[in-house]
Amino acid sequence: MSQSRFHQVFLAQRMPLLRTLERMVNNPSTAEDLLQETYLRVTRALNERTVEHLEPFVFQTARNLALDHLRARRIQSRTLLDDVPMEVVNNVIAPQSSAEDAAHAGRLLEQLNLSLQSLSPRQQQIFILNRLHGQSYQDIAERLGVSLSTVQKELKLIMAICVGVAERLDAD
pLDDT grade for 157, boundaries at 50, 70 and 90 = confident
How far apart CA 41 and CA 47 sit, in angstroms, is 10
What was the pLDDT predicted at 78? 66
Q: Which comes out higher in pLDDT, residue 78 or 150? A: 150
Handedness of CA 126, 127, 128, 129 (dihedral sign): positive
Stretch(es) of the chain classified as CATH 1.10.10.10: 97-171
For the ranges 44-53, 54-63, 99-108, 129-138, which has the lowest average pLDDT?
A: 99-108
3 contacts 48 by C-beta, under 8 angstroms: no
Stretch(es) of the chain classified as CATH 1.10.1740: 3-76
How far does CA 112 lie from the centroid of its chain? 22
CA separation (Å) from 119 to 112, 116, 126, 155, 162? 11, 5, 10, 11, 12
**Average of per-residue pLDDT across 58-86:** 79
pLDDT grade for 85, boundaries at 50, 70 and 90 = low
pLDDT grade for 98, boundaries at 50, 70 and 90 = low
Q: Is domain 3-76 given the CATH code 3.40.50 in the classification?
A: no
| pLDDT tens digits along 31-70 | 999 999 999 999 888 888 888 888 999 999 999 999 999 9
Residue-by-residue DSSP string for 26-59:
S-HHHHHHHHHHHHHHHHHHHHHS--SSHHHHHH
What was the pLDDT predicted at 96? 56
Check whether 95 has a pLDDT greater than 60: no
> Which residue type, as a one-letter code, is found at position 77?
S
How far apart CA 70 and CA 26 sit, in angstroms, is 10
Check whether 114 has a pLDDT greater than 90: no
Q: Which comes out higher in pLDDT, residue 156 or 101? A: 156
CATH architecture of the domain with residue range 97-171: Orthogonal Bundle (1.10)
How far apart CA 144 and CA 151 sit, in angstroms, is 9
Query: In the chain, what percentage of residues exceed pLDDT 70?
Result: 85
Mean pLDDT of the chain: 82
